[in-house]
């Protein structure tokens, strides 16, 4: 989606139909950011293909790794690589990808049994 917007902006600049001062896509989404994000998501997709018989802990591990990797990309871009809209899109992508690979997101994130500790007897 962002790559298409970048290409469209480049075409408009080349054709002279877009004022260079109005061009912002390349600055907002530099090539190194897109490449790093794609690499993280490619790794995530590869890991998902190996989750056919995974337990919840393994699935959470894959999600944790992709989130930490995306956070690292964000930090490498001074904490401004992903704004709220991009974060929401990335979360939707992760949820959709998990679902497409047979993960029941609702069941995965449902609270587990409530464990209670015995109340100490101070008497």
Angstrom distances, CA of residue 8 to CA of 12, 13, 88, 101, 108: 6, 9, 23, 32, 40
Q: In this predicted structure, which of 52-56, 63-67, 91-95 has the lowest mean pLDDT?
A: 52-56
69 by Cβ neighbours in 10 Å (0-12 / 13-18 / 19+) ranks as middle
Residues listed for the chain: 123
Check residue 29 and give its pLDDT. 72
pLDDT at 12 exceeding the cut of 90: no
The stretch 86-114 carries a mean pLDDT of: 88
The stretch 31-44 carries a mean pLDDT of: 93
Give pTM, 2 decimals. 0.73
């Amino acid at each position: 989606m962002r790559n298409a917007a970048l290409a469209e902006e480049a075409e408009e600049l080349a054709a002279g139909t877009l004022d260079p001062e109005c061009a912002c896509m390349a600055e907002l989404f530099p090539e190194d950011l897109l490449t790093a994000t794609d690499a993280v998501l490619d790794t995530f997709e590869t890991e998902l293909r190996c989750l056919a018989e995974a337990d919840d802990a393994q699935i959470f591990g894959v999600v944790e790794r992709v989130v930490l990797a995306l956070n690292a990309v964000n930090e490498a871009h001074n904490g401004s690589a992903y704004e709220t809209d991009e974060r929401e899109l990335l979360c939707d992508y992760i949820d959709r990808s998990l679902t497409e690979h047979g993960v029941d997101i609702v069941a995965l994130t449902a609270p587990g049994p409530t464990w209670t500790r015995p109340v100490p007897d101070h008497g």
